[in-house]
Amino acid sequence: MIVVLKPNLPPEQVEKVIAEVAKLGYEPRPIHGIVQTVIAAIGDETTHQSLETLETWPQVEHVHRVQKRYKLVSREAKKGMDSVLKIHGQEIGAGKKFCFMAGPCSVESEEQLMTTAKAVKAQGATFLRGGAFKPRTSPYEFQGLAKEGLQLLAQAAKEYDLGIVTEVLSERDVELVASYADILQIGTRNAQNFSLITEAARSGKPILLKRGMTMKIEEWLLAAEYVLAHGNPNVMFCERGIRTFETYTRNTLDLGAVAIIKKESHLPVIIDPSQGCGRADMVLEMCKAAVALNADGILIEVHPNPAEAWSDGQQQVDFNLYAKLVEELKPFVTAVGRPL
């Protein structure tokens, strides 16, 4: 860490800070300038107390971190190489085949799910998404079919050879959901529910970690660090839009986050354009941008008849629009050098 002292301090005040840095377990190496002194504190920040508390001292102007707080998630942890996750026969990440995850916002019935699974499989999807447990803002809105929804997902996945992506809402449901799902989704409302994230990590199942609606990127990276720190290396980031002052769209899809995560981390990045803008008529263009930014896959909400959907119908695409979407994305996928 770097401790920057205030200008024109007398030597005895500088020495007090140096002594405190040493007391906290670091090797202080002061650099004396004409006006200010800077102390390079040599030591592992993960095993010593943070020196950021020194900012409360009147002699200290600022304390800078040198090491990143997310050690396992960082690109340096893999020596600059990208991780490849092998899930349900598909490799995800590191320029591998672009991944299509598609299905309804929530599982409503056998007919709805089976027809959707058939439609997305015909267009090359390898994972079926669908909510069996639904976190809703109002307690009076549809909350999902729970275990029955999981069973329907398993039935559809078996029929059409698809992996299952579904959300887990609480620690008590992790074991149940993990017994059906290939990927456990941690939703935006639970993106910093570290007890849930830890329990999901211990299941050993791959984790799709959505970004919290008001989450900074560093906080998102640190949430993923919880998974890796508990022995589960299989994590995917999912950008699903953040809450801003804009009201034209439901959320603001932060496509810049894809570039940042790709720079900072070795883990794959998935884009959810459905939640990201909350409008079916914008999903196609958001998908094109996601592919151009070298995202590793997309998570799209697809419904037989969005007007009759039990949740978030306005952001779900129908079968015809999904087919058009996949067809129009092909040249973009090819352009970034990924196999179809």
CA-wise closest residue to 206 among 169, 232, 245, 230? 232
Sign of the C-alpha dihedral computed for residues 15, 16, 22 and 27 taken in this order: negative
- The 10 Å CB-count burial string (b at 16+, else e) for 256-279 is ebbebbbebbbbbbbbbbbbbbbe
Please give the helix or strand (H or E) that residue 299 lies within, else none. Answer: strand 297-301
Is the confidence at residue 48, as pLDDT, over 80? no
Is the confidence at residue 310, as pLDDT, over 80? yes
Sign of the C-alpha dihedral computed for residues 65, 66, 71 and 76 taken in this order: positive
pLDDT in tens, 112-122: 999 999 999 99
Distance CA 46, CA 56 (A): 21
Which residue in this structure is represented by tokens 């939640």?
A: 275
- Report which DSSP code applies to 74: B
If you average pLDDT over residues 235-239, what whole number do you get? Answer: 98
Distance CA 87, CA 189 (A): 25
Distance CA 67, CA 47 (A): 12
What is the pLDDT at residue 19?
Answer: 92
User: Poorest-confidence range of 73-82, 261-270, 286-295?
Assistant: 73-82
- DSSP annotation string for 303-327: -S-GGG-SS-GGG-B-HHHHHHHHH
- DSSP annotation string for 105-126: SB---HHHHHHHHHHHHHTT--
* CATH architecture observed for domain 2-64: 2-Layer Sandwich (3.30)
Is the confidence at residue 46, as pLDDT, over 70? no
90-92 and 85-87 beta bridge pairing: antiparallel
**Of 221 and 138, the one with more pLDDT:** 221
What is the pLDDT at residue 40?
Answer: 83
Is the confidence at residue 239, as pLDDT, over 80? yes
Task: Output the CA–CA distances (angstroms, integers) from residue 222 to 72, 73, 237, in the order listed.
Answer: 10, 8, 11
Which stretches of 146-255 are DSSP H helices? 147-160, 174-178, 194-202, 217-229
**What fold characterizes domain 75-335?**
TIM Barrel (3.20.20)
Predicted TM-score of the model (pTM): 0.87
CA 316 to chain centre: 21
Is the confidence at residue 264, as pLDDT, over 90? yes
Residue-range domain boundaries for the chain: 2-64, 75-335
pLDDT in tens, 157-186: 999 999 999 999 999 999 999 999 999 999
Mean pLDDT, the chain, whole residue set:
94
Is the confidence at residue 308, as pLDDT, over 70? yes
pLDDT band at 82 (very low <50, low <70, confident <90, very high): very high
Distance CA 205, CA 173 (A): 14
Is the confidence at residue 50, as pLDDT, over 90? no
